[in-house]
Structure 1
Amino acid sequence: MTTVITVPFKGVGLCVAERQNQPFTPMKAIVEGMGLMWEPQLRKLNSNAEIWGVIKMVVPTKGAYQTAV
């Protein structure tokens, strides 16, 4: 089971999901918070998924489940 919590990070709430006792955070919010475009960064992450430790998780959100990278 995946547990999702929000932790403070530089004045913003950062979503962290715990899976198999390892913390993961959705990258889209971090990338956009840095002022970068998401799609090019997603391609880079997916092209080297094993190097970056990329996984795709289904996480519960308000009203639905969403896939997070």
Structure 2
Amino acid sequence: MEIDTDKIDDAVLALLWLTVHDHRRAWKGLDWEALGRLHRKGLISDPANKAKSVVLSDEGLERAEALFQSLFMRPK
């Protein structure tokens, strides 16, 4: 069975939404390979720096919230 890294990236992006602070920064304590892929997709800033957080792009912020709601919220 092959791992679908796009699904992993979606889950990681959704989990980044949990730690958003200062309007678009999120703690980067998740899988480094997934963070690198999200950076290459233009959804977050480069995680390879001294900061403990990454900055979500406009698209990344929108997708993170939408993915969080679809993956982790219960229907009303």
Structure 2 length-normalised TM:
0.30
- Richer in strand (by share): 1
Q: Higher relative contact order at CA 8 Å, sep ≥6: structure 1 or structure 2?
A: 2
TM-score by length of 1: 0.32
